């Protein structure tokens, strides 16, 4: 339960965020617990130009009762190639480093710091490394992943309602129920987007248009779906078969055939050595 000081401070800061939202960030507190920001979303539908462009990433900030004298726990749930989904992040603005937290920092400061860290390459507990191609593929699939729980929507029992229980450990497999609970309007927009772009909700693949034999011009996000194999998972490693294709497409011939190059170098060296010995003999 929040202390009176924490409740007053967070209420004021949330009001300021509504009046002046941080760029590319949407944040709302939980309706039942002011210490919990269930609704944190990082939208890259505008500049800056990053591998996360057109991505939709959501997460949670859990503030301690003694805030602002202690920092929040920070988790991002959407696979991005930058964070381990639903894993506490070790940042100077998170609960991993309470002694380095400055009470003058506000919620908006924390959110901007999170966005800045995401667009950097600094590594810490809870972060992962990935290529730009891999991150772009995950960005293209982020709206599908959020609203379907990684393709598990069809397996959700009818009438099941998501609750805030387990909100800190959101994985693929819930059919997107937790996202739908926190982001009802955004979820509806995502489903319309999937329908308009003929995205298979189970696989995340584009469903071919039976009425058209021509290749349709589509957005960069939906184009990325064509490069993905069937199947997906909540972590980066589960979606990297398509990323491997993207990586190889951008690699040089030498890098993709380095084994043959090494053999050629060894053979050439042996040949030159033999010729030199014959000349000396």
Tokens of 7: 């409740």
Tokens of 266: 């060894």
CB contact at 8 A, 58 and 78: yes
* Burial environment of residue 14 by CB neighbours within 10 A (0 to 12, 13 to 18, 19 or more): middle
**Any idea which residues carry the catalytic annotation?**
90
Residue 48 has pLDDT above 80, yes or no: no
Strand order in the sheet with 36-43: 25-28, 36-43, 56-62, 73-76
Range with top average pLDDT, 33-37, 107-111, 180-184 = 107-111
CATH no. for 4-118: 3.10.110.10
Q: Whole-angstrom Cα distance, residue 61 to residue 165?
A: 15
Q: Whole-angstrom Cα distance, residue 235 to residue 241?
A: 12
Residue 259 has pLDDT above 80, yes or no: no
What is the radius of gyration, based on Cα positions, of the chain?
24
How confident is the model over 167-225, as pLDDT tens digits? 445 556 788 988 898 889 999 999 999 999 999 998 888 988 777 655 555 555 556 66
Looking at residues 105-133, what average pLDDT do you find?
94
Q: Which of 97-106, 112-121, 157-166, 169-178 has the lowest mean pLDDT?
A: 157-166
CB contact at 8 A, 80 and 146: no
Q: Whole-angstrom Cα distance, residue 37 to residue 27?
A: 7
Tokens of 117: 């860290």
Residue spans of the domains in the chain: they are 4-118, 132-253, 257-281
């Amino acid at each position: 339960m929040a202390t009176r000081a924490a409740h007053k401070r967070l209420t004021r800061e949330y009001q300021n965020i509504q009046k002046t939202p941080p760029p590319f960030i949407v944040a709302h507190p939980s309706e039942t617990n002011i210490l919990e920001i269930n609704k944190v979303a990082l939208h890259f539908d505008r500049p800056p130009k990053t591998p996360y462009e057109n991505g939709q990433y959501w997460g949670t900030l859990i503030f301690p009762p003694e805030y602002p004298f202690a920092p929040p726990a920070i988790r991002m749930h959407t696979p991005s190639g930058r964070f381990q989904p639903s894993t506490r992040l070790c940042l100077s603005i998170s609960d991993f480093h309470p002694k380095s937290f400055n009470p003058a920092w506000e919620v908006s400061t924390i959110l901007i710091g999170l966005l800045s860290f995401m667009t950097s390459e600094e590594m810490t507990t809870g972060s992962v490394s990935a290529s730009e191609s891999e991150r772009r593929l995950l960005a293209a699939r982020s709206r599908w992943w959020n609203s379907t729980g990684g393709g598990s929507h069809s397996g959700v029992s009818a009438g099941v309602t998501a609750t805030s229980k387990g909100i800190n450990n959101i994985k693929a497999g819930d059919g997107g129920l937790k996202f739908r609970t926190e982001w009802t309007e955004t979820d509806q927009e995502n489903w319309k987007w999937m329908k308009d772009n003929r995205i298979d909700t189970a696989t995340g693949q584009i469903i071919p248009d039976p009425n058209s034999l021509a290749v349709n011009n589509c957005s960069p996000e939906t184009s990325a779906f064509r490069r993905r194999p069937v199947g997906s998972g909540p972590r980066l490693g589960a979606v990297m078969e398509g990323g491997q294709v993207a990586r190889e497409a951008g690699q040089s011939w030498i890098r993709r055939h380095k084994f043959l190059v090494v053999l050629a170098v060894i053979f050439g060296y042996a040949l030159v050595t033999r010729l030199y010995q014959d000349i000396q003999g």
